[in-house]
Chains A and B, each alone.
Chain A
Amino acid sequence: MSDNARRDFLKQVGITTAATVGLSSITAKADEYKSGEVQGVLVDIGVCVGCRNCERACQVAHNLPAEDPEEYHNRDIYKEFRRPNTHSLTVVNEFENPKNKLIPYDVKYQCMHCNHPACVSACIVGALTKNKNGAVTWDTNKCIGCRYCMVACPFQIPTFEYDKAIQPKIMKCDFCFERTKEGLLPACVANCPVEALTYGNRDELLVLAKKRIARYPDKYIPKVFGEDEVGGTSWLYIAPVDFETLMFPKLGDKPAPGVTEAIQHGIFSYFIPPLALFGWLGGVMWLSKRKKELTESETKKEEDK
């Protein structure tokens, strides 16, 4: 049994025992993704040249239809703002640099691999998993295609194969989970010719990002996107302009699933509220029935007189 399967199993056992014994293990929530084994990628928007090698490398690594390498150098594609889709799990967009038209800003987008992913919390069958190395992966054997992950994601990342009648898939960046397991770099990182992407321990990447900002204060705005957004993400960005002009959503530092999980665990805390409601209704039912019978027999008696 893998770590995650075991954790899921323990969770289920926890829930069932909670129902019967009134004890629970699901509330113990250590902040396990803040440090240690969590890997990440630092994207330096000030370095990216928009060659789109990462797009192609990603398609090849995930067995998705890829075009000829030359096609990716046609910069006409930047006329339209694009989002990751079922054929390209990562896409690059270009924005005009008002200070210097010759040096535009190129931005790569993909799943941010949140520390507290909304999709993982939302998924009805637990088909999405937050792995120890930070990757958020999807399990085709569990998914029912309800698309709640797409509703939940604050970055609007998961996509769905609407054109398939059988086994449509949720498509999103999986942080090259199969490659990194074998010690390889994620395909996009391995194929970036200008080292705009740096793969490594998330904590160390944060230090590196801040060092870079400190060394070139004129080049970067003093912010690491992904450090605190929705509780932190595995992917981190530094940029020469503020992130909203680069079409990043403006997000708070609270994890996206926080409120929902509080409500859910409030309603279900150890199954006590539902059982209490059941008991209360049972009591009311019994009492009101007795009262009704009493009044009925009284009126009957009066009628008999």
Chain B
Amino acid sequence: MSELVIPKPVKHKFFTPGMIIVTLLALNGLYFLAKRFLFGMGAVTNLNNFYPWGLWIGVDVAAGVALSAGGFVTAAMGHIFHLPNMKPVIRPALLTAMLGYTFVGIGVMVDIGRWYYIWHPMIYWNGNSPLFEVGICVMTYLTVLYIEFFPIVTERFRGKVNLPSILSIFNKPIEFLLKLFDNTLGKAMFVFIIAGVVLSTLHQSSLGTLMVIAGYKMHPLWLTPIMPLLFFISAICVGIPMVIFECLIASRSFGLKPEMDVLKNIAAYVPLLLGIYLGFKIGDMAIRKSFVYLFEFNKYSIAWLIEIVFGVIIPLVMLNFKKVLNSPLWLFIAATLVVAGVLINRINTFIVAYHPPYAKTPYFPSFGEISVTVGFICLMVILYRIIVMIFPVMSLPIKNEEKY
């Protein structure tokens, strides 16, 4: 059946009631964003000298990078290991990664006090800093993602360049350029695909190194020298569930039949990955004897239990059942749990576990901070929808297409 499936632009109405809400939430976020740039960080955020990092770093940046891991995971599985059945999900995952990382970049720009100096890491180097490594890798990887996406753009327009009236003189040169790019890029693409995987390995793990330097300010349930390894494995774990999550949402939103054959095949890899992750997490805990903190009943032990039970153990068990793999609803629930688990892990690591000395009240994000984060997610949804309606990203079965 998968042979019949080819990527095509989706034809659908853009504004549905759901999309109107999404657009309104995006506008609300943009309002607070404008406030932040006009009046400074303090006007919008609850950050202070004790809590310098909050929701924007924890969710927009750290979780944003993790949840964009689908791009490199599917690229590695499909293009490098040549595992079967990957093809239909590579493009949607690539688009998510491209949008995700674009917004990670924007998120960083919003959070740093001097946003106009965002290019400084390119000329001022500090090899000791994990943040420097993350910054350089994310910048490079974002470029690689745009290059990887370019063939989809050429595929859409090659042989179809037809600019109106006076601009039509550019038709031939543009056509020639597209052809040139397509032919040369196609041959060199393997370099970029491998580079994308290497860069992702590096910065996904270095994100985990970030909080190691905070030392005693971090709760021992999360602070471990193997944090980079745990971050890397959890990024691989969340790659496929994120693809499943958005494929199911997109197909529902566009009224298409979900590609369950493909999705259940790739979902079968997830329990093994989650098992490895859980093994490292528990093993590390046993070696460092940090499990004693689980018996203290406080916000840390509760946060840790929610993260592991709902984000790892339950989906790990669920995905072993055929019933779950075959049902769009159950598969969606399992994938959502993994996605939420990684999101909670990043929030726990960057916000909950961080308890600085001298702080009088714990940090909780302000309405403005939450608005900006929600607004960015909504903007991503809007852009995703626009792009899949213009470019051949989603794989549509022939019979689905006949509906239109």
Chain B, residues 126-158, CB within 8 Å of chain A (1/0): the string is 111111110100000000000000000000000
A124 lies within 8 A of B197 (CB):
no
Q: For residue A274, which residues in chain B have a CB less than 8 angstroms away from its CB?
A: 198, 201-202
**A6 CB–B CB distance under 8 Å:** no
Contact for B114 among A11, A122, A167, A259, CB less than 8 A? A167
**A213 CB–B CB distance under 8 Å:** no
- In the complex the two chains form, what is the Cα distance from A159 to B358 in whole Å? 13
Q: For residue B47, which residues in chain A have a CB less than 8 angstroms away from its CB?
A: 147, 162
Q: Whole-angstrom distance from the CB of B65 to the nearest CB of chain A?
A: 15
B134 and chain A: residue at smallest CB distance: A124
A122 lies within 8 A of B131 (CB):
yes
- In the complex the two chains form, what is the Cα distance from A8 to B128 in whole Å? 12
Q: Whole-angstrom distance from the CB of B239 to the nearest CB of chain A?
A: 16
**A164 CB–B CB distance under 8 Å:** yes
Q: For residue A126, which residues in chain B have a CB less than 8 angstroms away from its CB?
A: 124-126, 129
Q: For residue A154, which residues in chain B have a CB less than 8 angstroms away from its CB?
A: 215-217
8 A Cβ contacts from A270-305 to B: 274, 277-278, 281-282, 284-285, 288-289, 291-292
Q: For residue A292, which residues in chain B have a CB less than 8 angstroms away from its CB?
A: 82
Known A156-B356, A256-B215, A285-B194; judge A168-B114 contact (CB<8 A).
yes
B113 lies within 8 A of A145 (CB):
yes
**A197 CB–B CB distance under 8 Å:** no
**B117 CB–A CB distance under 8 Å:** yes
A278 and chain B: residue at smallest CB distance: B198
A-B contact count (CB 8 A): 191
Chain A, residues 122-156, CB within 8 Å of chain B (1/0): the string is 11111100000000000000111111101110101
Which of B111, B128, B228 has the largest number of chain A CB atoms within 10 A?
Answer: B128
- In the complex the two chains form, what is the Cα distance from A81 to B357 in whole Å? 12
**A121 CB–B CB distance under 8 Å:** yes
A151 lies within 8 A of B214 (CB):
yes
Q: For residue B13, which residues in chain A have a CB less than 8 angstroms away from its CB?
A: none
Chain B residues with a Cβ closer than 8 Å to the other chain, count: 65
Which of A85, A160, A250 has the largest number of chain B CB atoms within 10 A?
Answer: A160
Contact for A162 among B41, B80, B190, CB less than 8 A? B41
A162 and chain B: residue at smallest CB distance: B42
**A184 CB–B CB distance under 8 Å:** no
**A268 CB–B CB distance under 8 Å:** yes
Chain B, residues 358-378, CB within 8 Å of chain A (1/0): the string is 100000000000000000000
Q: For residue A291, which residues in chain B have a CB less than 8 angstroms away from its CB?
A: 82
A146 lies within 8 A of B112 (CB):
yes
B83 and chain A: residue at smallest CB distance: A288
- In the complex the two chains form, what is the Cα distance from A161 to B195 in whole Å? 39
**A261 CB–B CB distance under 8 Å:** yes
A162 lies within 8 A of B228 (CB):
no
**A222 CB–B CB distance under 8 Å:** no
A266 and chain B: residue at smallest CB distance: B228
B135 lies within 8 A of A124 (CB):
yes
Chain B, residues 173-203, CB within 8 Å of chain A (1/0): the string is 0000000000000000010011101100110
Q: For residue B40, which residues in chain A have a CB less than 8 angstroms away from its CB?
A: 161-165, 168
Q: For residue A151, which residues in chain B have a CB less than 8 angstroms away from its CB?
A: 52-53, 210-211, 213-214, 217, 354
Q: For residue B37, which residues in chain A have a CB less than 8 angstroms away from its CB?
A: 165
Q: For residue B202, which residues in chain A have a CB less than 8 angstroms away from its CB?
A: 267, 274
Contact for A121 among B45, B135, B198, B213, CB less than 8 A? B213
Q: For the A-B complex with A121-B129, A123-B126, A156-B217 known, give 10 more contacts whose Cβ atoms are closer than 8 Å.
A: A11-B125, A122-B128, A122-B130, A122-B131, A144-B118, A158-B49, A256-B213, A257-B213, A277-B201, A289-B82
Q: Give chain A's interface residues, CB within 8 Å of chain B.
A: 8, 11-12, 15, 26, 81, 83, 85, 118, 121-127, 142-148, 150-152, 154, 156, 158-165, 167-168, 247, 249-251, 256-257, 259-261, 263-264, 267-268, 274, 277-278, 281-282, 284-285, 288-289, 291-292
23 contacts between A and B (CB under 8 A): A15-B127, A121-B126, A122-B131, A124-B121, A124-B129, A125-B132, A126-B124, A145-B114, A145-B115, A146-B108, A151-B213, A154-B216, A156-B356, A160-B49, A164-B40, A165-B37, A261-B128, A263-B130, A277-B198, A281-B194, A285-B80, A285-B82, A285-B193
